Amino acid sequence: MSLPAQRLQLSTQPADADWITLAEAAKKLGITVRACLYRCEGWQNQNLARKFAGQWQVHVGAAAALRTDINTIDRDLHQLGELRRAKVPPRHIKIAEARRDIIVGFAAFRLRHRGRSAHDVLSLYVGECYATGMVGGASVIKKLSASTFYVWAAKYEAPDGGLAALAPEYNGGDQKPPTIGAEAWGMFLRLHHGAGSPSMKDCWRLVDTLVRTEHKGEDAWAWGKYRTVLKYYAANVHPAEAAITAQGPYRTEASFLPKIARSIEHIAAGTHLCGDERIFDFMARVAGARGWERCRVKVTAWMCVRSRKIAGWIISEDANSDTILSSFRMACEAMGTLPNEVTIDNGRDYRAVAGKMRRDRKWDEFDSKRVLGAFERLKIETHFALKKHPWSKSIESRFNTVKDRFDRFFAGFWGGTHSERPWDAERWTNEFIDQLPTVEEVRDQFEAFIAAMDEETVEGDGMFGLCPRQAMARYFTATPRLLPADVLELACSRMFGPRKVGRDGIRHKNIRYGKLDKEVWRLMGKEVFYLADPVNAQQITLCDEDGIPICVAFADRNLGMTQSELRAAENMRKSAKRQIKKFHQVRDDAIASNPQLISKLRRRAAKLNQIPDSQVPAAKREGLRLVGGDSELAAGVEKIKRAAGAEAIKKLSDANAAAQALNEFPSIDLRNMPGSDAESASEPERHVDFRCFSEEAPF
């Protein structure tokens, strides 16, 4: 009998109400009545068997199989609490429970193999224990034989047995705890919980050396053997404190903090979506500058929390705010309703590099303001997942299913960690890059996979054996939130600006929008904002700074290949030309305005700012008075007049001489000159007498 069994030995006598007949006892033990009668002789000495009215009766305390399940469970629970209070190591308690499970399981196994000998049945049962993992492998019971089983069964079925009798002997309950000094213990923890996480053996050796050389005999530096320190560490250090150095705070919290489980049975399907993005664990190929390049494409998906259905998803080389909102819009359109709540990742950006993981590649930015702004406009409550806690997003479990049932079946499987990566993955994906799937092929295969996954039964809270498709139809919200497609498109679009409208419209990502649109042309020179759909690049929506739409600008795709395209462009130009002519007419009217009217208006404006003439005092005038030297001034003026007249007469005389010479020239007849007509020929000749302009003529 083990020491815990001795301490927990029952001193009470069997009660009279717990006696059963010999035949009933043999049936419960799975033996013959004769064999049970043979055991009664030994039980009688222990007051566990008696004769009553000539018939043998067996007490239920004689064997564990004779007691009811309730009595056995109560006894084991009682003894389990006693073992823990006695400070029996947890491993010893696990060993006792594993031995108890083996003993209890043999009773049911023996009933299924009646007719065989007890030794043969026990041999078969030992083999089954190894096959099912109850013995060996990860179990605390490493070996089992028939003789060992008989010993365990005898201890467990004894009146003073039970779970306590199966626990290995442990004498530490009555011993005093080891004495470890506070200073020595603090030094040990500082060394072991350091950045490098050195081994406990090495840290113990360093502290032991320090105690022996510098602090020998001091109570604060009391130290013990290595195994004593190990037991003290296990008893006084919380497992989370021991793991935080190696695993970090996030993984420690995920491993040791209790999870907050939310019941979803009362949630209607389509009212709560959980979104996240994931990098596929296989290589695909994309077109690069030098041909095909390897790339791990990404999927951005939204899952209905109630039905576990992937409602919307997008596969591309990048995963950012555009893919998140685009897949969200697809999910809403597929479900036919807007959700009331969403759960999204808490990271500000997903630092996942697309393509060949080169340093010169840009990060995929996640604009949290844009995403939250869209959900605010749609009146959707947003929940943030806990940092470094994947279980806080229910879509992660579906992503694990995608990895096991979709990613692993690709020839270019890369693995999520280095340990999962095939040994020839680098060489194979480089040599056979033409066999890797393209992004379009991945989309087609993933669509077929999602359709198949929606038909598989999912275990979980609120599913009740239904597949995601059935759960979505069965528990769909009774009051869906309908929203027009164009309004949802604007809400999930990205706003840019302010941007000034030019003569060719607005340029966005090297595409001209609104070049031949009259509404956009009228906004020329003004600064506007615009909403760009991340998926549909055919148009953008011009709006003000508050996001209120003004007009729609379509992409300029005039290739000049058809007459209709040229005709539409020419019509736009004619309309704009007519508008410009109106502007020109206004300018001509302004230029042709009457200058006299302008001067008159200027004079009126000046007089309005003047002091009235009636208020200006009149000046006193005297008679006209001549100043001395008036005669000389008059003579000078007369002289100037004569000089000017003489000069004019001289010029006239020179002109007279030239005209006289022309008239006397015989070879020129002006009447016969080309260009003369009958009227000029009929006119009489005119002669000018220049003698009247001679110098002797009076002035």
Contacts of 88 (CB under 8 A, 6+ apart): 4, 167, 170, 173
Residues 21 and 89 grouped into a single domain: yes
| φ, ψ (nearest 5 deg) of residue 278 | -150, 145
Domain count, the chain: 4
Please tell me the predicted confidence (pLDDT) of residue 680: 45
pLDDT of residue 373: 75
Q: Are 167 and 83 in contact (CB under 8 A)?
A: yes
Indicate if 64 and 198 belong to the same structural domain: no
- With contact defined as beta carbons under 8 Å apart, do 309 and 454 qualify? yes
CB-count burial class (<10 Å; 0-12, 13-18, 19+) for 624: exposed
In a domain, 640, yes or no: no
Choose one of 474, 503, 527: the last residue of a domain: 474
Residue 624 in any domain: the answer is: no
The verdict on 115 and 244 lying in the same domain is no
Whole-angstrom Cα distance, residue 98 to residue 109?
16
Residues 205 and 152 in one domain: no
Whether 287 is in a domain gets the answer yes
Q: What is the maximal distance between C-alpha atoms in the chain?
A: 195
- 113 and 229 part of one domain: no
690 token code pair: 């220049």
Q: Which residues of the chain have pLDDT under 50?
A: 3, 7-15, 173-174, 348-363, 559-563, 566, 621, 623-630, 633, 667-668, 670-671, 673, 675-683, 688, 690, 693-699
Asked if 243 and 103 sit in the same domain, the reply is no
Give the model's pLDDT for residue 479. Answer: 84
Tens digit of each residue's pLDDT (9 = 90 or more) over 187-213: 888 888 877 778 888 889 899 998 888
Last residue of a domain, one of 138, 166, 194: 166
Residue 302 lies in a domain: yes
Query: Which DSSP string corresponds to 642-679?
Result: HHHHHHHHHHHHHHHHHHHHHHT-TT--GGGSTT--HH
User: How far apart, in Å, are the Cα atoms of 528 and each of 490, 505, 548?
Assistant: 16, 11, 11
Q: Report the distance separating Cα 82 and Cα 10, nearest Å.
A: 13
Residues 240 and 340 in one domain: no
Residues 6+ apart with CB under 8 A from 655: 690
Same domain, 14 and 105: yes
End-to-end Cα, the chain, rounded Å: 168
**Per-residue pLDDT at 454:** 93
- Is residue 418 situated within a structural domain? yes
**Same domain for 549 and 408:** no
End residue of a domain, out of 564, 591, 609: 564
Centre a 10 Å sphere on the Cβ of residue 663 and count the other Cβ atoms it contains: 10
Domain-embedded: residue 443: yes
CA distance 322 to 326: 6
Domain with 543, as residue range(s), is 494-564
pLDDT for 262: 65
Cα-Cα-Cα-Cα torsion 13, 19, 21, 23, nearest 10 degrees, comes to: -70
332 in the same domain as 461? yes
Report yes or no on 499 lying in a domain. Answer: yes
The answer to whether the predicted template modeling score (pTM) of the entire model surpasses 0.75 is: no
Q: Are 222 and 178 in contact (CB under 8 A)?
A: no
Structure-block tokens of residue 152: 């365990």
Q: What is the pLDDT of residue 681?
A: 47
State the sign of the Cα–Cα–Cα–Cα dihedral 668, 673, 678, 680.
negative
458 and 373 housed in the same domain: yes
Residue 325: count of CB within 10 angstroms of its CB? 27
For position 620, what pLDDT does the model report? 55
Q: What is the pLDDT of residues 545-554, one digit of tens each?
A: 777 788 888 8
Give the residue from 337, 261, 272 showing the smallest Cα distance to 302: 272
Judgement on whether residues 60 and 153 belong to the same structural domain of the protein: yes
Nearest to 10 by CA among 56, 37, 51, 46: 46
Q: Does some domain include residue 676?
A: no
